[in-house]
Every structure is written in structure tokens, then in C-alpha cells.
């Protein structure tokens, strides 16, 4: 993910729920080796979204390490 961002900028800021959690040069953040988890809430065909993410991972997109579905969570 950060490798892709590096193609268009030198510095980034990462926000979580409106709060700044990281900022700095892309190279510095990559060297920290921290994992970024992105949770998606889908509307519609969740299975298709999961399949597309898994296919992207299998095709070698470096920023997708895993794609799975948590069926125990409900958004109300």
C-alpha cells in the first residue's frame, strides 16, 4: 500500500477515525514494518468483494497480505 503511495508523494499522514496516528516520509514508514489493517463494510455482495480481494492478493499485489470475512460482526 505504501509502495503505491510512494509513486505519487514523499510524505504521508495516516488518519484513523479523524485522529492522526502516523506521519512522515514514506521510506521511514516502510522501514518501521508495521502492518496496516483495512476493514471494509460492504453493501451488497460481500462474497464477491472477498473474492476480488483474494484474486488481487493471488496476482501479487504487495499490499494485500490476507483477505477474509468476519461473519460474527453486524453493523447497525
Q: What is the pTM of this model?
A: 0.39
pLDDT digits (tens, 9 = 90+) for 11-65: 888 888 888 888 888 778 777 766 666 666 777 777 887 888 778 777 776 666 7
Q: Distance (Å, rounded) from C-alpha 59 to C-alpha 74?
A: 30
Can you list the alpha helix ranges (DSSP code H) found in the chain?
2-6, 26-32, 46-58
Q: Which helix (H) or strand (E) holds 15?
A: strand 11-16
First to last CA, the chain: 29
Nearest to 1, CA basis, from 24, 23, 48, 34: 34
Amino acid at each position: 500500500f505504501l509502495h503505491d503511495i510512494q509513486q505519487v508523494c514523499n510524505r504521508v499522514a495516516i488518519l484513523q477515525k479523524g485522529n492522526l496516528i502516523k506521519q512522515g516520509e514514506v521510506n521511514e514508514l516502510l522501514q518501521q514494518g508495521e502492518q496496516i489493517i483495512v476493514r471494509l463494510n460492504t453493501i451488497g455482495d460481500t462474497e464477491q468483494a472477498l473474492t476480488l480481494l483474494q484474486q488481487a492478493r493471488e496476482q501479487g499485489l504487495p499490499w494485500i497480505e490476507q483477505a477474509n470475512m468476519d461473519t460474527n460482526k453486524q453493523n447497525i
